[in-house]
Amino acid sequence: MAAGNTEFREAPLLDWRAEFQDSTLEALYRRTMLAQDARQLVLALCAISGIFFIFSLADLALVGFNGEFLALLAIRAFVAMSCLSLALAVKLQPALVQQSLPVNLAYFVGISGLLLTIPLHPGTGGLHIATMVVACTTLYLLMPSRLPWILAWNAYLALGFAIALGYRPDISLAMLASGLLLLGFANLLGWVTLTRLNCLQRRQFALLIEERNINRQLQAEIDERRQLERQLRIMASTDHLTGIANRRHFFELAERELNRTKREETPLAICMVDIDLFKELNDHHGHAVGDLVLATIASCCASVLRDTDIIGRYGGEEFIIALPQADTATATRIAERLRRKVSGLSLPMLGDTPMLSVTVGISHVAEDEVTLDPAMLRADEALYEGKAQGRNRVVVADAPSSRAAIEA
């Protein structure tokens, strides 16, 4: 594993807010969690609005239908409608969940509404303390926001709670102190719980990012290895100078074609092609020009062949071609086309050197032959017969004792 990934895991990734120290990584995490946070906030706001409004029934039972009840009902209705409005806005535009203003507005409306019910509600001090503890816990567990804001709004809740209960004559100083201690304990518990949850989620996210990076690296290595394997296969089967099949690969393909020919009882022609006077050209112009001539003629030969034909470099300046399903007339026509095209080549670096030419010897694999060797031997003999006749020609060997020469 890369050193950077090791440091990424071992370094203190999170700050006191249980957020990534790397702002880019934190932004990526928050974008990833956007949909989940939006769903969580919508559900929390709907639950809070419903529960907060349902308490109107308890208010009615306690205070009766009077001015105080109507005031409590108005507060609860306003808080519920505000929560539902924000829930609808977040549902329509999830990005609002990670913006400070909308969420903090919900905090302000909810906490302020809860605090305003304390002077109007005739409930006992214990009931109000329990309500504040539940509200404190709700801020930590249900409302997705950053820890500093949660701490700030819990401080506002504790201060408002102390002021609201401080004016009630039925609340003793000891009960108020107990309530504040309970709020402090709830904040401590919520802080620890939220921090551990955030740490767990962010560390899982960091491990997921690391795993994806490793997978990408592995995939890149696999692709590179596959590319190398393809290159090695090409290098193992291709002549590096001419770009056509090398001798070993040619015979692999030709043997496969021979087997198919025997099964289907179709003709298979073998052509031996040799560049005329190549040694003199190489000695006069140098090996660099000789290599260029070899590559040019190999490309020229390949360009006139059919898709099913197989060409390879046999050695030196000699090429070998297998022509599947080619009778004598077809093989001769292809060889003649090849010879004429080579004769028409013009390479400026050759200067006054006579035109390039090739001599081609052709033979067919006999019905009783199970290897290419006899046909290659006859094609090679036809090739040398063409050399003896003056080069730049195609010579067909129909049988070991029969030759036909086609003059240029």
Cα end-to-end distance, the chain, whole Å: 68
C-alpha pair distances (Å), 289 with each of 244, 278, 294: 18, 11, 9
Q: Which helix (H) or strand (E) holds 384?
A: helix 373-388
- List per-block mean pLDDT (blocks of 10 residues) for the chain, which spans 408 residues: 45 75 87 89 89 86 86 90 91 88 86 86 76 85 78 89 77 80 88 87 88 93 92 86 92 94 93 92 87 92 93 93 94 95 85 82 92 94 93 84 44
The predicted pLDDT at position 406 comes to 44
How open is the CA angle 40-42-47, to the nearest 5 degrees?
Answer: 95
Cβ 335 vs Cβ 394: under 8 Å: yes
DSSP string, 341-368: HHHT---GGGTTSPPP-EEEEEEE--TT
All domains of the chain, ordered by start, with CATH? 3-215 (no CATH), 247-406 (3.30.70.270)
Q: For residues 257 and 325, what is the distance between their CA atoms, to the nearest angstrom?
A: 10
Would you state the torsion angle of the CA atoms of residues 109, 134, 116, 102, taken in this order, to the nearest 10 degrees?
Answer: 0
Choose among 48, 8, 2: nearest CA to 25.
8
CA atoms within 13 A on the CB side of 397: 27
The predicted pLDDT at position 145 comes to 65
How open is the CA angle 197-199-205, to the nearest 5 degrees?
Answer: 105
Q: For residues 179 and 197, what is the distance between their CA atoms, to the nearest angstrom?
A: 26
The predicted pLDDT at position 233 comes to 85
Q: Count of residues for the chain?
A: 408
The predicted pLDDT at position 342 comes to 93
Q: To which residue do tokens 């099913």 refer?
A: 308
3-class secondary structure, 406: strand
The predicted pLDDT at position 107 comes to 86
Cβ 150 vs Cβ 143: under 8 Å: yes
Q: What is the CA radius of gyration of the chain?
A: 45
The predicted pLDDT at position 105 comes to 86
The predicted pLDDT at position 282 comes to 85
- The interaxial angle of helices 328-343 and 287-304, nearest 10 deg, is 140
Cβ 105 vs Cβ 90: under 8 Å: no
